[in-house]
Amino acid sequence: MEKSFLEQVELGQTEWYRYFFGIILILFFWLVLGSLFVVVPLLWVMLDGDPATAVDLQTGMITGVNPMINYVALNLSFGMMIAGVFVTVRFVHGRPFRSIITPAKTFEWRRMWQGFGLWLLLVALASLVEYLVHPGIYTVVFNARRFLPFALVVLLLTPMQTTAEELLFRGYLLQATGHVGRNFVVLSLVNGILFMVPHLGNPELAASAILLPLFYLSIGGFFAYLTLRDNSAALAIGAHASNNLYSALFANYTGSALQTESIFLVTELDAVYALASFWVMAVIFYLVLFWRQRKTAVPTGSPVDDAI
């Protein structure tokens, strides 16, 4: 019988020190090897001596250059995160890489596209509502000559960045915490906290030092619960990709950690609306995709029963 998503942790080598070493190895790939994609452009700017360019010490980004340079450099580092997760799962734990995504023999592409399409629709509707309520914070900045090449880069690199985060947080780390418990709500909360921590340095937090961390915690926790409930990370991978693609291409924020050539620019981040609209979207998303499944009887004592 096929093991469940959380039961995948029983495959391969599961000693605690392997997880300790695995996390260090992933961080080494991401923050050390991946930082080379950022450090090299920074050194080039510092040695170039062009007064029009500079390094923003707060964000680590290069100012006075095509924003595509910053975008490509930062996103390529997430490719190293994927490499780190792969090496850890395959060689430190000795189990199939696919096992951190799904217990099935093949990836659920249909489920991923369902998550992608539905979340894209919801985030677009939420953005439309915000525009109708606060039209003044949306500015049209579309420039076809700059937008089209940037859009191509975004379409190629953003799914890599979001998938990297899903593989680490909703894959490796979520399954790892399954060693100490199987309650879906508790595991989702822990995963949300883990997801929130590396986002605490984002410049968006200037809008609210309380609500924005809760926003990131909510995203991580909800995507973790989706993964546990669906027995696969496919939905979370799709939804995360569409969320970031929408922000990058259609309505980016002036203080975003990743500046892009978007169609609209949001000049003020409403943290209250961001958090509230997210949870409305999350409830609708969950009901649409799981309503029929909730009508199906679930055996007593299952992790789903324990979580609801």
Q: What is the DSSP string of the chain?
A: ----TGGGGGSS---HHHHHHHHHHHHIIIIIITTHHHHHHHHHHHHH--TT-EE-TTT-PEESS-HHHHHHHHHHHHHHHHHHHHHIIIIIS-S-GGGGT-SSSS--HHHHHHHHHHHHHHHHHHHHHHHHH-GGGEEE---HHHHHHHHHHHHHHHHHHHHHHIIIIIIIIHHHHTTS---HHHHHHHHHHHHHGGGTT-GGGGG-TTHHHHHHHHHHHHHHHHHHHHTSSHHHHHHHHHHHHHHHHTEEETT-SS----SEEE-S--HHHHHHHHHHHHHHHHHHHHHHHHTS---TT-HHHHH-
Task: Check residue 65 and give its pLDDT.
Answer: 57
- What are the mean pLDDT values of the chain's consecutive 10-residue runs (308 residues total)? 85 95 97 81 56 50 65 89 98 96 95 97 97 94 94 96 98 95 96 96 89 97 97 98 96 84 93 96 96 53 39
Task: Check residue 258 and give its pLDDT.
Answer: 76
Task: Check residue 206 and give its pLDDT.
Answer: 87
Task: Check residue 84 and give its pLDDT.
Answer: 98
Task: Check residue 3 and give its pLDDT.
Answer: 79
